[in-house]
Amino acid sequence: MAARGDGPYVLDTTGKRYLDASGGAAVSCLGHSNAAVNDAIKAQLDRIAFAHTGFFTNEPMEKLADFLCERAPGDLNAVYFVSGGSEAVEAALKLARQYFIEKGEGSRSRFISRRQSYHGNTLGALSAGGNEWRREPYSPLLMPVALLSPCYAYREKRDGESDFDFGQRVANELEEEILRQGPETICAFICEPVVGATLGAVPAVEGYFSRIREICDTYGILLILDEVMCGMGRTGTLFACEQEGVAPDILVTAKGLGAGYQPIGAMLVSDRIYQTIRNGSGFFQHGHTYMGHPVACAASLAVQTYVEDNNLLENVRLQGAALKNALEATFGQHPFIGDIRGRGLFLGLEIVEDKETKAPFDPARKINAKVKAAAMDAGLMCYPMGGTIDGQRGDHVLLAPPFIIEASHVDEIVSKLAQAFQSTFKEV
Ligand code: PMP
């Protein structure tokens, strides 16, 4: 049982301390028990906890909306607040569909995404994701979504192919799929700028997103970027797509937005979409009871203000580079670590049985569960997951420590992870 938080540490009921090197699942970007955020939550509770958005807007919601729009790329100038990542993705899928109806292009109803992706567990978001294991039991309930190759150089790049050519080749799959189905049937392409849970911090290669943007524009298709995990500073810039030089039509974010202090997610929307609906029906036909929740917005505003005022994104870049270097130095030659990747404080290590062939371990060996248990024994929270690799489940470890970590925490993460690997691989 988690009993208490102390900066980058979680304490259980026995008093044992765990360094939170994964922010849960890339959530706790400020660590735990941040006094400024707690104070903001208490102050908002004393003013008003809840007022339904069917009747009122509220001050923290308005301020948070301004904060995000002023900093967002492109013309993402409207925001819709929900309670988490899946809700934000659902809203994005429905808004894309409504946009085309109001534009007089009601034939557009389909979405395209990528294999080995994750966009949430509600039915629409699950349909959009390419995580076979999560989809499988619900497959009869899901809408058909075409799944393209991920921009996953470690496994998908061909021998002799340059990074750039690889990126163009997988981006061009989007054009091929649009032409196969007919552009007049497609609403949007959705993907994560840096793939989180399913692959373990895999960024695209240079040029991939520019080509994706170009293809979407050519065929009048919306680009939805899912920054639920990689956004809000996690990769070293407030929005992950800033590093691609590309702005989406809809951007969804959550996790680091509220840093776990309150549940909150957001959908940021371009002027073009906002104006089309404003000048049409005037109303996005969607909604949840807790949207724009005042306490959640107050917590999120305090989190984002704290990150900015304390220049924490610089620390993300600095400690992120230090952590990546330390991981490479310690595990670069490890017989079972095939790849080390990521950006900022969003890093992944891929575990393979054979570095030469990149063959993953047999899923029956439950390597990721063993790494997680061994890390918890050592007092480290990391996020080991099994992605789907060539139809088999492979293993990776995702690291997403809080933005407040210092050099000593970097050392502690690496030494405890080494301990966890040692006890896991001794057994296998
Ligand atoms: N999109 C991405 C990229 C995610 O990583 C997640 C959560 N892991 C979600 C959507 C769903 O968010 P939530 O769990 O808050 O519903």
Domain boundaries, the chain: 2-33+311-427, 37-309
Which of 27, 117, 229 for a ligand 1 pocket mutation test, highest count of atoms within 8 Å of Cβ?
A: 229
Q: Which atom of ligand 1 is nearest to the CA of 85?
A: 12
Q: Best mutation site among 199, 202, 228 for ligand 1, i.e. most ligand atoms within 8 A of its Cβ?
A: 228
Compute the distance from residue 137 Cα to the ligand 1 centre, in Å: 19
Q: Provide the pLDDT for residue 307.
A: 98
* Alpha helices per DSSP H over 250-397: 271-279, 294-309, 312-331, 367-378
Per-residue pLDDT of the chain (428 residues; tens, 9 = 90+): 999 999 999 999 999 999 999 999 999 999 999 999 999 999 999 999 999 999 999 999 999 999 999 999 999 999 999 999 999 999 999 999 999 999 999 999 999 999 999 999 999 999 999 988 889 999 999 999 999 999 999 999 999 999 999 999 999 999 999 999 999 999 999 999 999 999 999 999 999 999 999 999 999 999 999 999 999 999 999 999 999 999 999 999 999 999 999 999 999 999 999 999 999 999 999 999 999 999 999 999 999 999 999 999 999 999 999 999 999 999 999 999 999 999 999 999 999 999 999 999 998 899 999 999 999 999 999 998 887 776 667 899 999 999 999 999 999 999 999 999 999 999 77
Instruction: Tell me the angle at which helices 407-427 and 312-331 cross, rounded to the nearest 10 degrees.
Output: 40
CA of 239 to the centre of ligand 1 (A): 16
The preferred substitution site among 86, 241, 251, 252 for testing ligand 1, maximizing ligand atoms within 8 Å of CB, is 86
Rounded to the nearest angstrom, the distance between the alpha carbon of 84 and the centre of ligand 1 is 7
C-alpha of residue 333 to centroid of ligand 1, in Å? 32
How far is the centre of ligand 1, averaged over its atoms, from the C-alpha of 89 (Å)? 8
* Euclidean distance between CA atoms 226 and 205, whole angstroms: 17
List the residue whose alpha carbon is closest to atom 9 of ligand 1.
Answer: 120
Q: Whose CA is nearest to atom 5 of ligand 1?
A: 229
DSSP secondary structure letters along 51-116: --TTT---HHHHHHHHHHHHHSSTTEEEEEEESSHHHHHHHHHHHHHHHHHHTT-TT--EEEEETT
The rounded distance, in Å, linking the Cα atoms of 89 and 85 is: 6
| Ligand 1 atom with least separation from CA of 227 | 3
Distance 86 CA to ligand 1 centre (A): 6
How far does residue 280's CA lie from ligand 1's centre (Å)? Answer: 31
Instruction: Give the CA angle between residues 246, 280, 68 to the nearest 5°.
Output: 35
Q: Which atom of ligand 1 is nearest to the CA of 87?
A: 16
Is 37-309 a domain of CATH 2.70.210.12?
A: no
For ligand 1, atom 13, which residue shows the shortest CA distance?
Answer: 85
Residue 163 C-alpha to ligand 1 middle, in angstroms?
28
Q: Would you state the pLDDT for residue 133?
A: 85
Q: Taking CB atoms and a 6 Å cutoff, what residues make up the pocket around ligand 1?
A: 25, 84-86, 89, 118-120, 192, 196-197, 226, 228-229, 254
Which CATH number among 3.40.50.720, 3.10.150.10, 3.90.1150.10, 3.30.465.10 corresponds to the domain 2-33+311-427?
Answer: 3.90.1150.10
Q: Please name which of 11, 53, 8 lies closest in space to residue 260, comparing C-alpha atoms.
A: 8
Atom 14 of ligand 1, residue of closest alpha carbon = 85
C-alpha dihedral, 265 to 65 to 316 to 35, nearest 10°: -80
Positive or negative: CA dihedral 325, 330, 331, 335: positive
Beta bridge partners of 383: 398
Q: Which atom of ligand 1 is nearest to the CA of 89?
A: 10
- Calculate how far, in angstroms, residue 158's C-alpha sits from the geometric centre of ligand 1: 30
Ligand 1 atom nearest the C-alpha of 226 is 3
Ligand 1 midpoint to CA 381 (Å): 19
pTM, whole model, 2 decimals? 0.98
| ipTM of this complex prediction, to 2 decimal places | 0.99
* Torsion sign over Cα 346, 352, 356, 362: negative
What does the block give as tokens for 45? 């509770």
